[in-house]
């Protein structure tokens, strides 16, 4: 039985689609300082013949002005975010989708059935769910070693890592929830680390006498890193961030 709509936990993408800024940029300590000073002046009003009361009124005006400016900033940010949020969400979701497809194909030779009985998306989801539950030794048995450690795969990982980094450094990254930022940074690190393991593997060609050492270390490291990347990609997909290209052909995905 499905949960009632009001009881269903919102995905991260649904959270980011909602008005993100619910409070202003002014620290709460600013307000506490202003109102604390006002309380002190109220306490001292009789001792100094009403002078503190004048200052208190002035401070109240300052606090009210700060509050109004803060509210206006919040509304302005929410308005700007509303204009771009769908495109930004799609940009992240498309990148996650492309990376899932690329890792499955390049590193594990994922070759789904195309008879139409099961959608490509469902097959990839099942494949990644299974992959995410495997340790590095089990992942190593599925790895296509020759292609995984090629220069093309190294370039691919760097390209995808650069895409994620560009998203994190875009103008609207300040609107992202910390959880999403953490996941994207972790994914970026995994891709760069995977590239490092590929470079380590290449040392086996230069130092022939230590070939097996570099090869074994590189495979273990790459499989461990890919496992982490797969689990992050699964989490991002569960959060609503996985979407094929909008103008993809009917019945297929890009």
User: What number is the average pLDDT over the span 206-218?
Assistant: 92
Residue 213 pLDDT more than 70?
yes
Q: How far apart are CA 56 and CA 51, in angstroms?
A: 9
Query: Is the pLDDT reported for residue 248 higher than 60?
Result: no
Encoded tokens for 141: 């048995």
pLDDT at residue 251 in the model: 41
Q: Which two tokens stand for residue 240?
A: 């609503």
Distance CA 128, CA 103 (A): 10
Q: Cα-atom radius of gyration of the chain, to the nearest Å?
A: 27
pLDDT one-digit tens code per residue, 6-42: 455 667 666 656 554 444 444 566 656 666 666 666 6
For all residues of the chain together, what is the average pLDDT? Answer: 80
Name which of 22-31, 74-83, 108-117 the model is least confident about. Answer: 22-31
Greatest Cα-to-Cα distance within the chain, rounded to the nearest angstrom = 92
For residue 250, pLDDT over 50 is answered with: no
Q: What percent of the chain has pLDDT over 90?
A: 49
> What pLDDT does residue 172 have?
81
Question: Hey, where are the domains in the chain?
Answer: 12-79, 84-238
Q: How far is residue 181's CA from residue 179's CA, in Å, rounded to a whole number? A: 5
83 contacts: CB under 8 Å, gap ≥ 6 = none
Q: Where are the alpha helices (DSSP H) in 6-50?
A: 12-17, 28-43
State residue 27's pLDDT score: 56
């Amino acid at each position: 039985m499905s949960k009632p709509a009001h009881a269903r936990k919102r995905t991260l993408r649904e959270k980011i689609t909602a008005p993100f800024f619910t409070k202003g940029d002014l620290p709460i300590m600013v307000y506490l300082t202003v109102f604390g000073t006002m309380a002190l002046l109220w306490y001292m009003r009789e001792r100094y013949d009403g002078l503190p009361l004048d200052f208190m009124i002035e401070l109240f005006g300052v606090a009210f002005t700060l509050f109004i400016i803060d509210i206006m900033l919040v509304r302005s940010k929410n308005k700007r975010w509303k204009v771009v949020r769908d495109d930004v969400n799609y940009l992240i979701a498309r990148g996650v989708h492309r990376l899932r497809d690329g890792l499955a194909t390049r590193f594990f030779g994922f070759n789904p059935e195309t008879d139409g009985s099961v959608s490509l998306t469902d097959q990839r989801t099942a494949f990644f769910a299974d992959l995410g539950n495997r340790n590095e030794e089990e992942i190593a048995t599925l790895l296509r070693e020759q292609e995984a450690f090629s220069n093309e795969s190294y370039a691919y990982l760097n390209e995808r890592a650069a895409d994620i980094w560009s998203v994190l450094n875009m103008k609207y990254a300040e609107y992202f929830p910390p959880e999403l930022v953490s996941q994207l940074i972790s994914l970026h690190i995994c891709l760069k680390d995977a590239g490092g393991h590929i470079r380590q593997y290449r040392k086996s060609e230069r130092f022939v006498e230590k070939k097996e050492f570099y090869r074994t270390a590189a495979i273990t490291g790459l499989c461990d890193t890919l496992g982490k990347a797969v689990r992050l990609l699964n989490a991002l997909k569960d959060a609503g961030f996985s979407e094929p290209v909008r103008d993809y052909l009917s019945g297929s995905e890009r």
